[in-house]
Each structure stands twice: as C-alpha cells, then as structure tokens.
C-alpha cells in the first residue's frame, strides 16, 4: 500500500509499505494515474518497506509504466528487498523496469 508520496520539483516518489495486493492495486493505479494526468513524468517507486507483491500489484506497475512511457516519462524501482525483487526476476520484469 502507499504509505507516503513526496513531490520534489517534477519528480514523484511513492513510498510503498507492507503488501501490494489485489486489495491495494486499484488505489495505487488511481494514485499514479492522477499524477501522470497532472503532468508528472518522473517517478520513483520506493519499495524499501514493501514485503510482498502479488500479480495484481505487478500488473498495476506494468500498466503505470506503459502509461508513463506513452508520455515520455520514467519509472525507477528503488529499494526492492530480496523477496520482492525475486518476484520481478521470476516474471522477467527486471528487463522492463529500471532498478536502483
């Protein structure tokens, strides 16, 4: 779930914590789509406090990435812990997203 959002100049940093599951995915999509529609193009998704992500969470991130790229924007995944990063690796999404 989204625990905080920080906007600095034109960069949006979204802090996720706990679990990102089907129950939270729609809220995250709306939150990020609203920022894209407001004109923001640079996003950092901070996963330092995220412990679990399911397929719905991944799907939302892919959807947001697609919309961001359509607007010539970028998304950086920061701080993904081993278990969460492993899900990205198993689904081969490490080839799609930029990680820090």
pLDDT tens column, 16-45: 999 999 998 889 999 999 999 999 999 999
pLDDT in tens, 47-83: 999 999 999 999 999 999 999 999 999 999 999 999 9
User: At a CB cut-off of 8 Å and minimum separation 6, what does 36 contact?
Assistant: 64, 67, 68, 71, 73
Any idea where the domains of the chain sit in the sequence?
Answer: 2-99
- Structure tokens, 45: 């998704």
User: At a CB cut-off of 8 Å and minimum separation 6, what does 10 contact?
Assistant: 40, 41, 42
pTM value > 0.85:
yes
CATH topology of domain 2-99: Transcription Regulator spoIIAA (3.30.750)
């Amino acid at each position: 779930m989204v625990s905080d959002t920080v906007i600095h100049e034109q960069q949006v940093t979204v802090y996720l914590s706990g679990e990102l599951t089907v129950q939270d995915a729609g809220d995250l999509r709306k939150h990020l789509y609203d920022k894209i529609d407001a004109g923001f193009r640079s996003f950092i998704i901070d996963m330092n406090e995220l412990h679990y992500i399911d397929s719905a969470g991944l799907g939302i991130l892919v959807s947001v990435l697609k919309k961001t790229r359509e607007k010539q924007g970028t998304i950086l995944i920061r701080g993904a812990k081993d278990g969460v990063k492993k899900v990205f690796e198993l689904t081969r999404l490490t080839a799609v997203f930029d990680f820090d």
